[in-house]
């Protein structure tokens, strides 16, 4: 073989076929699903964990009084429905945010990060694909939580408009937490340590976002801290829709929607900026693939 | 050089100058030093413990106190009831999962082979690791109880008699689960996974043990009720609540009964756990998979 000929062939510019971003994202979702499906034992454990958690709060609800829940405006369903919504959505966002971090960490840990980035795939498409996949899986777990809760006696007071409003609030919940996920992924890129952030996010939201109790039970300073987190507005809005049949025309629900939109408008550029700093710094240091 | 002479030289048993106690101390001290370098973890876990106790205190504001009394726990506050449950359950699983978690860590980091090939006996290694785990877990448990007692003014009965009884209950609780922890470690050695299973067991134990609600509410579900009383933790929690909520001591019949049952579990499970662990060690040595993950 003529080496000069070989060099010439290898030097040829391969035309880049621009794959549409939705197709790239769909490929990542399919890839992640195939990998996820091989860990059936983990899936079983995750589902068992959800069942046990919901069952625990069902039994806990039997010793509670519905007074505070009703005073907070959630008129139907009592404590169990209140806690079910809180637990299901808190787990939903925590699982999704943690999973985004984990996927970045795993790519670094397994040494596949550089392989992914040296391909023609844009990193933003990679991150979007990973995020979408984990939100899809989280949605499945959310559905399981609600189904188990319904079987155990959770009851809702809804209309078509209140259900649609709850869907709008859920979409805003996802958008706001995508920003948090991207922010922590950016920090992980540089520091290689992300757990403290997700961990703080988890216990802070459990404490101050009204997952297990109405916000009115908190002292004013913790209630104020709770207003930093988008989960607080999402839970209040979703509960008002599902437990009090309110919709976007109600001032309380609308105010929650407005707060979430403000959070998304402020947090998304900041998180993308932090991510860019982390990503560029890791590329500059040559530590993108390092663990 | 005479090869036979060289082989004979290597075969010679080197005199072991250190006792098992020195080995245990060495493992414990080395691991404690390593643990103390994880300052962020210690700080975050401490804050997390404080936050979770605060969270339970707010949850307690929604509980109908009459239902706890009607369930046979006397005139106690739900927070006191839950605090004993949460503190003991967390202590138990931090202790037990520590053994399997450490083993998983050693396997994945590739440090198990140097340990096995060193002069440290695996028994001493496990004991040293466990003591470290017990102390670290005790820090969080005592912290949670102190916050409850002095910050939230939870009505726990604390005097010399109840303290001694509580420590005895903790000891027996750990002994009754130790076999399961060692068994999990042995399984991890062979199958290289198993940590998630201990996590699931922790959730099941908290649920069936009645950490957040009186066990009476499980009576409507005969299978769950039966499973709850099959777990050693249920007896440990029953005794701990009798001691810290009603002032019972080791001379109380119900506490003694619970301790006797925990003793039976310890006598049955520890030898089984050690047998499984030995089987795991022998098998990975035989298969040559000590360093693989």
Instruction: Give the residue with greater pLDDT, A171 vs A117.
Output: A171
The pLDDT of residue A16 is: 63
pLDDT over 90 (residue A106)? no
**Over chain B, what is the mean pLDDT?**
84
The pLDDT of residue B16 is: 58
Contact at CB, B212 and A64, closer than 8 angstroms: no
Q: Is residue A291 in some structural domain?
A: no
Q: Is residue A11 in some structural domain?
A: no
pLDDT over 80 (residue A107)? no
Q: Is residue A114 in some structural domain?
A: yes
Residues of A in contact with B213 (CB under 8 A): 56, 59-60, 62-63
pLDDT over 70 (residue B195)? no
B111 touches chain A (CB under 8 A): no
The pLDDT of residue B108 is: 72
Residues of B in contact with A197 (CB under 8 A): none
pLDDT in tens, A10-27: 777 666 667 787 888 888
**Over chain A, what is the mean pLDDT?**
83
B 194-223 residues with CB below 8 A of A? 196-197, 199-200, 203-204, 206-207, 212-214, 217-218
Instruction: Give the residue with greater pLDDT, B53 vs B188.
Output: B53
Task: Let me know: does A197 contact A289? Beta carbons within 8 Å.
Answer: no
Q: Is residue A196 in some structural domain?
A: yes
Give the up-direction half-sphere exposure of residue A130: CA atoms within 13 A in the CB hemisphere. Answer: 25
- DSSP state, residue B250: T
Contact at CB, B213 and A207, closer than 8 angstroms: no
**Stretch B117-125: mean pLDDT:** 78
Residues of A in contact with B71 (CB under 8 A): 63
pLDDT in tens, B154-179: 888 889 999 999 999 999 999 998 88
| Cβ-based contacts under 8 A for chains A and B | 79
The tally of domains found in chain B comes to 1
Instruction: Give the residue with greater pLDDT, A83 vs A201.
Output: A83
Q: Is residue B185 in some structural domain?
A: yes
| B59 vs A53, A65, A213: nearest CB | A213
A156 touches chain B (CB under 8 A): no
Asked casually if ipTM beats, i.e. exceeds, 0.90, the reply is: no
pLDDT in tens, B207-218: 898 899 998 889
pLDDT over 80 (residue B199)? no
The pLDDT of residue B115 is: 79
The tally of domains found in chain A comes to 1
The pLDDT of residue A239 is: 93
Instruction: Give the residue with greater pLDDT, A71 vs A110.
Output: A71
Contact at CB, B51 and A196, closer than 8 angstroms: no
pLDDT over 60 (residue B26)? yes
Q: Is residue B11 in some structural domain?
A: no
Contact at CB, B58 and A204, closer than 8 angstroms: no
The pLDDT of residue B228 is: 92
Chain A nearest CA to B14, separation (Å): 40
Chain A nearest CA to B2, separation (Å): 47
R_g of chain B, CA atoms, integer Å: 22
pLDDT in tens, B132-147: 888 888 888 898 999 9
The pLDDT of residue B13 is: 65
| A57-71, A98-112, A173-187, A253-267: range with highest mean pLDDT | A253-267
> What is the secondary structure of chain A as a DSSP string?
--HHHHHHHHHSPPPPP---HHHHHHHHHHHHHHHHHH-HHHHHHHHHHHHHHHHHHHHHHTTB-SHHHHHTT--SSHHHHHHHHHHHHHHHHHHHHHHHHHHHHHHHHTT-HHHHHHSS--HHHHHHHHHHHHHHHHHHHHHHHHHHHHHTT------HHHHHHHHHHHHHHHHHHHHHHHHHHHHHHHHS--HHHHHHHHHHHHHHS-SSS-GGGS-HHHHHHHTTSHHHHHHHHHHHHHHH---TTSHHHHHHHHHHHHHHHHHHHHHHHHHHHHHHHHHHHT-TT--
Interface test with A, best of B37, B40, B55, B58 (most A CBs within 10 A): B58
The pLDDT of residue B292 is: 67
Q: Is residue B15 in some structural domain?
A: no
- DSSP state, residue B62: T
The pLDDT of residue A124 is: 74
pLDDT over 60 (residue A291)? no
The pLDDT of residue A22 is: 83
The pLDDT of residue B21 is: 82
Q: Which residues contact A245 (CB under 8 A, 6 or more apart)?
A: A76, A157, A158, A159, A162
What is the extent of the structural domain holding A159? 21-285
The pLDDT of residue B266 is: 93
Percent of chain B with pLDDT over 70: 94
Interface test with B, best of A45, A63, A71 (most B CBs within 10 A): A63
Give the up-direction half-sphere exposure of residue A236: CA atoms within 13 A in the CB hemisphere. Answer: 27
**Stretch B259-280: mean pLDDT:** 91
Contact at CB, A42 and B67, closer than 8 angstroms: no
- Ramachandran sector of residue A153 (left: φ over 0; alpha: ψ -120 to 50; beta: rest): left
What is the extent of the structural domain holding B242? 20-287
Task: Determine the straight-line distance between the first and last CA of chain B, rounded to whole angstroms.
Answer: 39
**Stretch B90-102: mean pLDDT:** 80
Q: Which residues contact B44 (CB under 8 A, 6 or more apart)?
A: A196, A199, A200
Q: Is residue B271 in some structural domain?
A: yes
Q: Is residue A272 in some structural domain?
A: yes
Q: Is residue A52 in some structural domain?
A: yes
The CA angle B278-B283-B285, to the nearest 5 degrees, is 100
The pLDDT of residue B112 is: 77
pLDDT over 80 (residue A55)? yes
pLDDT over 60 (residue A54)? yes
**Stretch B48-66: mean pLDDT:** 88
The pLDDT of residue B242 is: 92
**Stretch A59-83: mean pLDDT:** 87
Q: Is residue B93 in some structural domain?
A: yes
Q: Is residue A10 in some structural domain?
A: no
pLDDT in tens, A133-172: 888 888 888 899 999 999 998 888 889 999 999 999 999 9
């Amino acid at each position: 073989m003529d080496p000069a000929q070989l060099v010439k062939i290898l030097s040829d510019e391969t035309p880049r076929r621009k794959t549409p971003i939705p197709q790239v994202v769909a490929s990542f979702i399919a890839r992640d699903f195939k990998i996820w499906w091989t860990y059936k034992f983990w899936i079983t454990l995750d589902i068992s964990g959800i069942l046990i958690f919901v069952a625990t709060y069902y039994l806990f609800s039997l010793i509670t009084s519905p007074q505070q829940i009703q005073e907070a405006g959630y008129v139907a369903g009592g404590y169990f429905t209140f806690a079910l919504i809180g637990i299901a959505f808190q787990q939903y966002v925590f699982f999704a945010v943690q999973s985004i971090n984990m996927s970045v960490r795993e790519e670094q840990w397994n040494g596949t990060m550089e392989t992914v980035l040296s391909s023609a795939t844009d990193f933003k498409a990679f991150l979007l694909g990973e995020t979408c996949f984990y939100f899809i899986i989280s949605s499945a777990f959310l559905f399981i939580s609600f189904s188990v809760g319904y079987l155990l006696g959770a009851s809702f007071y809804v209309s078509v408009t209140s259900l649609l409003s709850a869907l709008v609030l859920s979409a805003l919940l996802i958008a706001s937490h995508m920003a948090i996920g991207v922010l922590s992924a950016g920090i992980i890129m540089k520091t290689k340590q992300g757990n403290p952030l997700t961990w703080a996010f988890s216990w802070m939201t459990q404490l101050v976002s009204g997952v297990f109790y109405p916000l009115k039970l908190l002292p004013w300073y913790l209630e104020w801290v709770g207003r930093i987190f988008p989960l607080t507005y999402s839970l209040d809005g979703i509960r008002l829709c599902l437990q009090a049949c309110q919709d976007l025309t109600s001032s309380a629900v609308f105010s929650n929607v407005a707060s979430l939109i403000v959070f998304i408008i402020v947090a998304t550029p900041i998180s993308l900026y932090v991510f860019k700093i982390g990503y560029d710094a890791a590329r500059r240091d040559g530590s993108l693939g390092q663990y | 050089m005479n090869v036979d002479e060289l082989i004979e030289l290597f075969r010679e048993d080197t005199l072991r100058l250190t006792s098992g106690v020195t080995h245990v101390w060495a493992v414990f001290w080395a691991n404690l030093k390593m643990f103390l370098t994880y300052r962020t973890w210690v700080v975050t876990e401490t804050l997390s413990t404080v936050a979770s106790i605060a969270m339970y205190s707010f949850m307690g504001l929604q509980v109908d106190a009459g239902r706890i009394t009607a369930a046979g726990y006397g005139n106690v506050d739900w927070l006191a009831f839950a605090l004993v449950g949460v503190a003991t359950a967390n202590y138990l699983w931090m202790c037990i999962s520590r053994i399997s978690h450490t083993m998983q860590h050693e396997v994945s980091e590739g440090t198990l082979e140097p340990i096995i090939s060193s002069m440290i006996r695996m028994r001493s290694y496990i004991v040293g690791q466990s003591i470290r785990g017990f102390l670290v877990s005790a820090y969080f448990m005592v912290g949670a109880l102190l916050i409850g007692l002095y910050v939230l003014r939870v009505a726990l009965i604390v005097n010399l008699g109840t303290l001694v009884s509580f420590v005895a209950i903790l000891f027996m609780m750990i002994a009754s689960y130790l076999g399961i922890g060692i068994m999990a470690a042995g399984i991890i050695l062979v199958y290289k996974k198993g940590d998630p299973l201990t996590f699931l067991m922790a959730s099941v134990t908290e649920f069936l043990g009645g950490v957040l609600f009186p066990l009476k509410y499980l009576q409507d579900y005969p299978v769950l009720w039966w499973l709850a009383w099959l777990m050693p933790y249920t007896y440990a929690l029953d005794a701990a609540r009798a001691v810290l909520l009603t002032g019972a001591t080791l001379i109380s019949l119900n506490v003694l009964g619970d301790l006797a049952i925990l003793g039976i579990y310890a006598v049955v499970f520890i030898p089984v756990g050690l047998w499984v662990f030995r089987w795991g060690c022998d098998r990975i040595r035989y298969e040559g998979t000590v360093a693989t993950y």
